[in-house]
A and B are shown apart, each in its own frame.
Chain A
Amino acid sequence: MLGKLAVRNVKRSARDYLVYVITMTFVTALMFAFNSIIFSQDIRMRVDQVGIMAALVGLATFFIVIIVAWLINYMVRFMLEKRSREFGTYLLLGMKKKEISRLYLRENMLMGAGAFGFGLLFGVLLQQILMAVLYTMIQTDYQLRLEFNGWCILTTAGCYGGCYLLALFRCKSRFKRMNICDLMSAGSKNEEIHESHERVKRWLLPVSLGFLLLFGLRLFYGGLLGGWDGGTVLAFIVGLVLTVYLFYTGLSSSIVCYIRGEGEGIYRGQNLFLLRQLSSKIKTMRFTMGTITALFMLAFLGCTVAMMFSDYQNKVLKEKFPFDVQVYSGNVEDDFQRELAVIEEEAVVKEAYPYQIYTNGTAQVNEWLYTHLREFGSMYLTPEGEPDARALEERDDGCYCEFDTYMKLSDYNHLREMLGYGMVSLRENEYAIHIKSRVLGEKGDFSEHLNVEGWEGQLKFSGYHTEPFSQDGHNGGDYVIVVSDSACELTPYYAELAVDIRGKAPEGLGDRLDDLDKKDVFSHLDWEGEEEPPGANNSCCGSDAIITYAAVNLVRDNVIPEVKYMLSSIVFPCFYIGLVFVCVALTVLSVQQLSDSAKYRFRYGVLSKMGLSRLEVAGVIRRQLIAYYLCPALFAAVIAGIIGLFVSRKFIFYTGVETEVFQYFGISFLLFSGIYLVYFLTTYVQFRQNAERGI
Chain B
Amino acid sequence: MNGYIRICDVEKYYGNGANITKAVDRVSFDVDRGEFVGVMGASGSGKTTLLNMLSTIDRVTAGHIFYGDTDITELSEDGLSEFRKRNLGFVFQDYNLLDTLTIEENIVLAMTLHRKDKAEIRERCGAMMKMLGIADIGGKFPYQVSGGQKQRCACARALINQPKLLLADEPTGALDSKAAQTLLETFTRMNAELGATIFMVTHDAFSASYCSRILFLKDGKIFHELIRAGRERRVFLNEILDVLSLTGGELSDVR
Chain A residues packing against B (C-beta within 8 Å) = 190-193, 259-260, 262, 264, 266-273, 276-277, 279-280, 600, 602-603, 605-616
User: What residues of chain A lie closer than 8 Å to B55, measured between beta carbons?
Assistant: 609
In-complex Cβ contact of A190 among B78, B105, B112, B143 (8 A): B143
Give B119's nearest chain A residue, CB to CB: A267
User: What residues of chain A lie closer than 8 Å to B116, measured between beta carbons?
Assistant: 267
Select the stretch in B22-30, B82-90, B190-198, B207-215 that faces chain A: B82-90
A191 to B113, CA, bound (A): 25
Instruction: Select the residue from B88, B112, B114, B143 with max chain A CB neighbours within 10 A.
Output: B112
B241: interface (CB < 8 Å): no
A608 to B81, Cβ gap below 8 A?
yes
B21: interface (CB < 8 Å): no
B98: interface (CB < 8 Å): yes
A266 to B112, Cβ gap below 8 A?
yes
B117-145 CB contacts (< 8 Å) to partner A = 117-118, 121-122, 139, 141, 143
B100 to A267, Cβ gap below 8 A?
no
* CB-defined A-B contacts under 8 Å, sample of 9: A266-B112, A267-B117, A273-B101, A277-B100, A603-B98, A609-B84, A610-B109, A611-B85, A611-B113
User: What residues of chain A lie closer than 8 Å to B178, measured between beta carbons?
Assistant: none
Q: How does the 8 Å CB contact mask read for B205-240 relative to A, with 1 for contact and 0 for none? A: 000000000000000000000000000000000000
State the 5 A-B residue pairs at the shortest beta-carbon distance, nearest first: A611-B85, A613-B81, A280-B100, A276-B100, A190-B99
B65-106 CB contacts (< 8 Å) to partner A = 77-78, 81-86, 88, 90, 96-101, 105
B255: interface (CB < 8 Å): no
In-complex Cβ contact of B112 among A269, A279, A613, A614 (8 A): A269
A613 to B56, CA, bound (A): 12
B254: interface (CB < 8 Å): no
A191 to B112, Cβ gap below 8 A?
no
In-complex Cβ contact of A611 among B86, B117, B139 (8 A): B86
In-complex Cβ contact of A606 among B77, B96, B114, B143 (8 A): B96
User: What residues of chain A lie closer than 8 Å to B83, measured between beta carbons?
Assistant: 611
In-complex Cβ contact of A276 among B84, B86, B105, B113 (8 A): B105
A612 to B80, CA, bound (A): 9
A260 to B138, CA, bound (A): 11
A270 to B117, CA, bound (A): 14
A273 to B99, Cβ gap below 8 A?
no
A276 to B112, Cβ gap below 8 A?
no
B85 to A610, Cβ gap below 8 A?
yes
B246: interface (CB < 8 Å): no
User: What residues of chain B lie closer than 8 Å to A279, measured between beta carbons?
Assistant: 100
User: What residues of chain B lie closer than 8 Å to A192, measured between beta carbons?
Assistant: 141, 143
Give A279's nearest chain B residue, CB to CB: B100
Apart from A269-B112, A273-B109, what 11 extra A-B contacts exist at CB < 8 Å?
A192-B141, A259-B105, A262-B118, A267-B118, A272-B101, A272-B112, A608-B84, A609-B90, A611-B81, A611-B86, A612-B113
Give B87's nearest chain A residue, CB to CB: A611
B99 to A191, Cβ gap below 8 A?
yes
Give B154's nearest chain A residue, CB to CB: A606
Give B94's nearest chain A residue, CB to CB: A602
User: What residues of chain B lie closer than 8 Å to A271, measured between beta carbons?
Assistant: 112
Chain B residues packing against A (C-beta within 8 Å) = 55, 57, 77-78, 81-86, 88, 90, 96-101, 105, 108-110, 112-118, 121-122, 139, 141, 143
A602 to B94, CA, bound (A): 11
Instruction: Select the residue from A270, A606, A608 with max chain B CB neighbours within 10 A.
Output: A606
A268 to B112, Cβ gap below 8 A?
yes
Give B84's nearest chain A residue, CB to CB: A611
B78 to A269, Cβ gap below 8 A?
no
A192 to B140, CA, bound (A): 11
A267 to B105, CA, bound (A): 10
Tell me the smallest distance from the CB of B117 to a CB of chain A, in Å. 7
A428 to B101, CA, bound (A): 88
A262 to B102, CA, bound (A): 13
User: What residues of chain A lie closer than 8 Å to B100, measured between beta carbons?
Assistant: 193, 276-277, 279-280
B112 to A270, Cβ gap below 8 A?
yes
A609 to B86, CA, bound (A): 11
Tell me the smallest distance from the CB of A694 to a CB of chain B, in Å. 10
A171 to B170, CA, bound (A): 42
Give B157's nearest chain A residue, CB to CB: A610
Give B85's nearest chain A residue, CB to CB: A611
Tell me the smallest distance from the CB of B115 to a CB of chain A, in Å. 7
Q: A193-B141, A272-B101, A272-B109 are in contact. Are A612 and B118 (CB under 8 A)?
A: no
B112 to A267, Cβ gap below 8 A?
yes
A603 to B88, CA, bound (A): 17
A606 to B101, CA, bound (A): 13
Give A605's nearest chain B residue, CB to CB: B96
A259 to B143, CA, bound (A): 19
Instruction: Select the residue from B98, B115, B122 with max chain A CB neighbours within 10 A.
Output: B98
A615 to B97, CA, bound (A): 22
A613 to B82, Cβ gap below 8 A?
yes
A190 to B82, CA, bound (A): 30
Give B109's nearest chain A residue, CB to CB: A272
A269 to B115, Cβ gap below 8 A?
yes
Give B144's nearest chain A residue, CB to CB: A192
A262 to B118, CA, bound (A): 9
User: What residues of chain B lie closer than 8 Å to A606, measured between beta carbons?
Assistant: 96-98
Give B57's nearest chain A residue, CB to CB: A609
A610 to B113, Cβ gap below 8 A?
yes
A264 to B118, Cβ gap below 8 A?
yes
Give A281's nearest chain B residue, CB to CB: B100
A269 to B110, CA, bound (A): 9
User: What residues of chain A lie closer than 8 Å to B85, measured between beta carbons?
Assistant: 610-612
Instruction: Select the residue from B55, B97, B100 with max chain A CB neighbours within 10 A.
Output: B100
In-complex Cβ contact of B77 among A259, A270, A273, A614 (8 A): A614
A276 to B188, CA, bound (A): 33
A615 to B105, CA, bound (A): 23
User: What residues of chain A lie closer than 8 Å to B113, measured between beta carbons?
Assistant: 269-270, 607, 610-612
User: What residues of chain B lie closer than 8 Å to A268, measured between beta carbons?
Assistant: 112, 115
Give B143's nearest chain A residue, CB to CB: A192
User: What residues of chain B lie closer than 8 Å to A190, measured between beta carbons?
Assistant: 99, 143
Tell me the smallest distance from the CB of A189 to a CB of chain B, in Å. 9
A262 to B121, CA, bound (A): 11
A267 to B86, CA, bound (A): 18
Tell me the smallest distance from the CB of A197 to a CB of chain B, in Å. 15
User: What residues of chain A lie closer than 8 Å to B115, measured between beta carbons?
Assistant: 268-269
Tell me the smallest distance from the CB of A413 to a CB of chain B, in Å. 78
A612 to B81, Cβ gap below 8 A?
yes
User: What residues of chain B lie closer than 8 Å to A262, measured between beta carbons?
Assistant: 118, 122
A276 to B90, Cβ gap below 8 A?
no
Instruction: Select the residue from A192, A610, A615, A616 with max chain B CB neighbours within 10 A.
Output: A610
B112 to A602, Cβ gap below 8 A?
no
A279 to B139, CA, bound (A): 16
A92 to B99, CA, bound (A): 30
A613 to B118, CA, bound (A): 23
A260 to B105, CA, bound (A): 10
User: What residues of chain B lie closer than 8 Å to A266, measured between beta carbons?
Assistant: 108, 112
Give A194's nearest chain B residue, CB to CB: B141
User: What residues of chain B lie closer than 8 Å to A260, measured between beta carbons?
Assistant: 139
A273 to B112, CA, bound (A): 10
User: What residues of chain B lie closer than 8 Å to A277, measured between beta carbons?
Assistant: 100
A431 to B159, CA, bound (A): 93
In-complex Cβ contact of A615 among B78, B112, B122 (8 A): B78
User: What residues of chain B lie closer than 8 Å to A609, measured between beta carbons?
Assistant: 55, 57, 84, 88, 90, 96
A268 to B33, CA, bound (A): 32
User: What residues of chain B lie closer than 8 Å to A612, measured between beta carbons?
Assistant: 81, 85, 113
B98 to A276, Cβ gap below 8 A?
yes
Give A264's nearest chain B residue, CB to CB: B118
User: What residues of chain A lie closer than 8 Å to B82, measured between beta carbons?
Assistant: 611, 613
User: What residues of chain A lie closer than 8 Å to B108, measured between beta carbons?
Assistant: 266-267, 272
A267 to B121, Cβ gap below 8 A?
yes
User: What residues of chain B lie closer than 8 Å to A191, measured between beta carbons?
Assistant: 99
User: What residues of chain B lie closer than 8 Å to A611, measured between beta carbons?
Assistant: 81-86, 88, 113-114
Instruction: Select the residue from B90, B113, B115, B117 with max chain A CB neighbours within 10 A.
Output: B113
